[in-house]
Chains A and B, each alone.
Chain A
Amino acid sequence: MKIQNLKIRIQVFIPVLFGCFLFTGNAYAMHISEGILPWNWAALWFVVAAPFVAVGLHRLKKLSNTDLSFKPLVGLMAAVVFIISCMPIPVPTAGTCSHPCGTGMSGILLGPTISILITAVALLIQALFLAHGGLSTWGADIVSMGIMGSLAGFLTFRALRAIKINIPIAGFMAGLLADWATYITTSVELASGIKGDSPFMPLFWKILIAFIPTQLPLGILEGAMTAGMVVLLYKKRPDLLVKMRVLKPEEVAA
C-alpha cells in the first residue's frame, strides 16, 4: 500500500515539477535565435546536421520493425529532452538563467543517432511555437545540442564503463561533458558566424568564457540528473538497459 502510494506520488510529482518550471514568460537558452547566423553559415550547419538526422530516422525505423518494446523509452526521452531543453534554471552565482540539455541522458539510453533525431524534433517544435531558437538556426542548434551533446554523453559513458568506472560516476561525467560540449559547440558556431573580418579564436574564447559562470554549475546539475536517471533505470528496468546495449547481460543477474 505504501509503495503504491509512493509510486502515485512520484508519478504525479515529477510531471508537475517539470511542468511548473515552464511557467515563465521568456525562454532562456543556448539556442541560437532566428537571424543571428548569416545564411551561408546557417546552411553549412544544416548540411552537417542532415546526415545525422537521416541516420537517426533510419535507425528508429529499423528498430521499430524488429522490436516495439523500446518505444516507451523513446517517448519518455523525447518528452524529457523537450522539457529539459526549455526549462530555464536561475544560476545565483552568475545572476543569469540557462537550461540543461538532456541529450547526454538520451545519448546514453537510446544511442546517439536516435537521440539526435528526438532532439531535432524537440528543437523544431520549440523554434516553431515557443520563440525558442529559430528555423534558420535549426541546423546549428541540432549540431550543438543534438549531435555534440548526444555523442559526448554516449562516448563518455561508454569509455568510462569500458575502464570499469561505476554507473553513477560514468552517468554523471557523461551528463556533465554533454552539457559542456553543447555550449563549446555553440561558441564555435556563434564565433564563426558573427566574426566577420575579426579573428576567430579571440571571439570564440570571449563567448566561451561568458558561458562559463552559468554553464559550470548547470553542467554539474545535468551530470547529477543524468546519473540519477541512469541509476534509476538500472535499478528498475535493467532488462531495458541490456536491450539498448547500455549494460552487458552479465551485469544483470536474474
Chain B
Amino acid sequence: MRIQDSRFKIQNYRIMFLIIFLLITCYSSLVTAAEKWPGVDESVVEKYAKEHGREAMTPLINTDQGDLLLFVFLLAGTIGGFAAGYYWRILMVEKTPRINGDKQKTTG
C-alpha cells in the first residue's frame, strides 16, 4: 500500500514537472516569437488594408496596453481551459453510458 502511495506521489511530481516545463517553454517561445512572428492579421489583413487607405481603429475596450492584454489572454485561457476540462469530464467520465457493466462498443 505504501509502495503504491509513493509511486502515485512520484507520478504526481512528474506531472507537475511536465506542466511547469511546458508552461515555461511555451511561454518563453511565444513571447520571444512576438517580435519575429507577425500574425496574418498584421502581415496580410492590415497590410493590404493600409495599402488601400484603411487602417485598424482602437478597439472599444482597448486592452492592448502594455501587459494588460497579456493578463486578459491569461484570464481567457484559464477560464476557457477550465470550462473545456469541466465539460470534458462530464462527457467522458460522469455520463459515459454502461451496458452490463461495460462501456459501449463501436463497430470499426
Contacts and interface: CB of A to CB of B under 8 A. Distances in A.
Interface of A: 1, 5, 7, 9, 11-38, 69, 72-73, 75-76, 78-80, 82-83, 86, 88, 90, 95-98, 125, 127-131, 134-135, 186, 190, 193-196, 198, 203, 206-207, 210-211, 214-215, 234-240, 251-254
Interface residues of B, number: 74
B26 A23 contact: yes
21 contacts: A16-B19, A28-B39, A34-B56, A35-B56, A36-B49, A37-B54, A73-B91, A75-B87, A76-B83, A76-B87, A80-B84, A96-B37, A97-B40, A98-B40, A127-B59, A131-B61, A131-B62, A186-B45, A237-B95, A251-B106, A252-B106
A26 B34 contact: yes
A203 B99 CA distance: 58
List 10 A-B pairs, minimum CB-CB distance, nearest first. Answer: A28-B39, A22-B77, A35-B57, A15-B81, A76-B87, A33-B56, A19-B81, A79-B84, A15-B85, A79-B83
A24 B88 contact: no
Nearest to A238: B106
Interface in B51-108: 52-64, 67, 69-70, 72-74, 76-78, 80-93, 95-97, 99, 103-107
Given A15-B84, A237-B96, A251-B106, A5 B11 contact: yes
A23 B107 CA distance: 41
B48 A190 contact: yes
Given A90-B33, A96-B38, A35 B84 contact: no
Residue with the highest number of chain B CB atoms closer than 10 Å, among A125, A190, A193: A190
B78 A19 contact: yes
Contacts of B96: 236-237
Interface of B: 4, 8, 11, 15, 18-19, 22-23, 26-27, 29-31, 33-34, 36-49, 52-64, 67, 69-70, 72-74, 76-78, 80-93, 95-97, 99, 103-107
B80 A82 contact: yes
A61 B36 CA distance: 45
Contact of A11 (B42, B70, B88): B88
A29 B40 contact: yes
Contacts of A35: 54-57
A210 B51 CA distance: 14
A215 B4 CA distance: 48
Contacts of A210: 40, 43-44, 47-48
A228 to B, nearest CB: 13
A5 B8 CA distance: 9
Residue with the highest number of chain B CB atoms closer than 10 Å, among A37, A80, A130: A130
B37 to A, nearest CB: 5
A13 B61 contact: no
Given A22-B76, A33-B45, A36-B54, A75 B39 contact: no
B77 A12 contact: no
B79 to A, nearest CB: 8
Contacts of A31: 41
